[in-house]
Amino acid sequence: MQNRLKARYNKDPNFTNLIAGIWEEYVAGDYNHDYSLDVKGRGAF
Amino acid sequence: MQTPNKILWIAAGNQENESLVSLFSSLVKQVPWNCTNLLITNAANWRTFYGETYKVTVDKEEDHSLVARYRQVVLAAYHENVLEDADIIVTGGMTAVMLIYMLTHGSSGIKLRNKPIVYVSPKVPEKEVAEFPIEGYEESMFWWMVGNMPNVHAVVLDNDTEYEMADKKLFRVCPNSNKKIRRLVLWKYEPLDGLPEKADKVVWSGRWNSIKKPDIATRIMAVLSGRGIDVEFFIPTISGSKRRSLTHIKETFQRVYVGLDSQEYRKEAGNAKVLLITSEVEGQPLGYLELLELGVVPVIRKRPWMKTFMGEGWPLVYTNEGEAVELCIEAMRTMINIWP
């Protein structure tokens, strides 16, 4: 059983990198995106 | 590079212990910046969060649904100006993401500045576990946001079933999006120097709510107990109203532990031979993994999420209660062959 656990759970916790990556993307990114939902296109949801 | 000054964590739940608050309490320790972390919640276990907290009292009379609870919590955050003030928002609620969108880009005249919104899903809503009572439309809109908005990110716990489900939902709504679901790894296996001496007992662990299927557990444990096997229940915390429903469980079973801290839990439950798992859905359940690390062997109810939990081919999987009883007994007798 311990071998299974070792094989399955052998990755380091990654929240630090995950949140840092999202922030870096935000700082570097183009956030002048048109966020308005096209109400006429509701059927697309 | 510019770093964030404030991260806002939004977790709505019921009045008892909310697993999302426990998850956020563990994640906040991994934040790489020296910034303010503010939790806004109505859940009872908010004190476990390492950072600032703002406790919202949700009006019970109005509506019990999760959507309503998120609405009240997000609006409280808006009124306290923390939605605007935050540089990053982390939440476990699709409703929260959609409300923030409306407050940021809706035509209400309210204008919040753009910021990353990170949806961390302990469990991807599926049939009978959906956040939205009306299936379909609203949830599709959430995935549309993930697919189309650069600042909305979806994160699932590192479980293939959960990832595939989220990926499928995103693809169905936004087949052309290049946004990817992210995977969150919470736990790494580290072999311990020694393991506790084992007792002939079966334990069940979890919050007393319908997703954990305590009703199935009590029936299986009753049969095991009738066969002379020691059984124990471990419940992190429970609300006053549900505490009453435990009365007859406590009358039936001698050992029902409520509200142990992590160390006590590991000590009391970690010497069991078998962990009975009945959950409908889990991502990366730390409460179970803590026991597995201590050599407690899991006997698992067959559900999609468990495929990645122990990997393919784990022998102790049951589809009915009778089989669960037999497997628990078999696991106790033969665990020497299963472990290591």
B220-246 pLDDT, tens digit each:
999 999 999 999 999 987 766 667 778
Q: Verify whether the Cβ–Cβ distance B144 to A44 is below 8 Å.
A: yes
Q: What's the confidence (pLDDT) of residue B292?
A: 94
Question: Is the Cβ–Cβ distance between B275 and B334 less than 8 Å?
Answer: no
Treating both helix axes as pointing N-terminal to C-terminal, what angle do B137-148 and B160-173 enclose, rounded to 10 degrees?
90
Q: Verify whether the Cβ–Cβ distance B105 to A1 is below 8 Å.
A: no
Q: What's the confidence (pLDDT) of residue B108?
A: 60
Q: Verify whether the Cβ–Cβ distance A4 to B310 is below 8 Å.
A: yes
Give start and end residues of each alpha helix (H) in chain B.
19-27, 66-79, 82-85, 94-105, 137-148, 160-173, 214-226, 240-245, 247-252, 262-269, 286-293, 306-310, 321-338
Amino acid at B179: K
Run of H or E residues at B40: strand B36-41
Confidence of residue B247 (pLDDT cuts 50, 70, 90): confident
- pLDDT higher for B260 or B244? B260
Q: Cα angle vertex B58, ends B53, B60, to 5°?
A: 155
Residues in CB range of B27: below 8 A, 6 or more apart: A15, B90, B120
Q: What's the confidence (pLDDT) of residue B60?
A: 65
Q: What length is written for chain B?
A: 340
pLDDT at B14 over 90: no
Q: Helix (H, G, I), strand (E, B), or coil: what is residue B103?
A: helix
Of B114, B158, B297, the CB nearest to A31: B114
Average pLDDT over residues B248-261: 88
Residues in CB range of B251: below 8 A, 6 or more apart: none
pLDDT at A34 over 90: no
Q: Verify whether the Cβ–Cβ distance B116 to A23 is below 8 Å.
A: yes
Run of H or E residues at A24: helix A15-28
Average pLDDT over residues B88-100: 91
pLDDT at B281 over 80: yes
B197-216 pLDDT, tens digit each:
889 999 999 988 888 999 99
Residues of B in contact with A24 (CB under 8 A): 1
Confidence of residue B113 (pLDDT cuts 50, 70, 90): confident
Residues of A in contact with B308 (CB under 8 A): 8
pLDDT at A38 over 50: no
B51-72 pLDDT, tens digit each:
888 888 776 655 567 788 888 8
Mean pLDDT score of chain A: 76
Of B27, B151, B308, the CB nearest to A15: B27
Average pLDDT over residues B121-125: 79
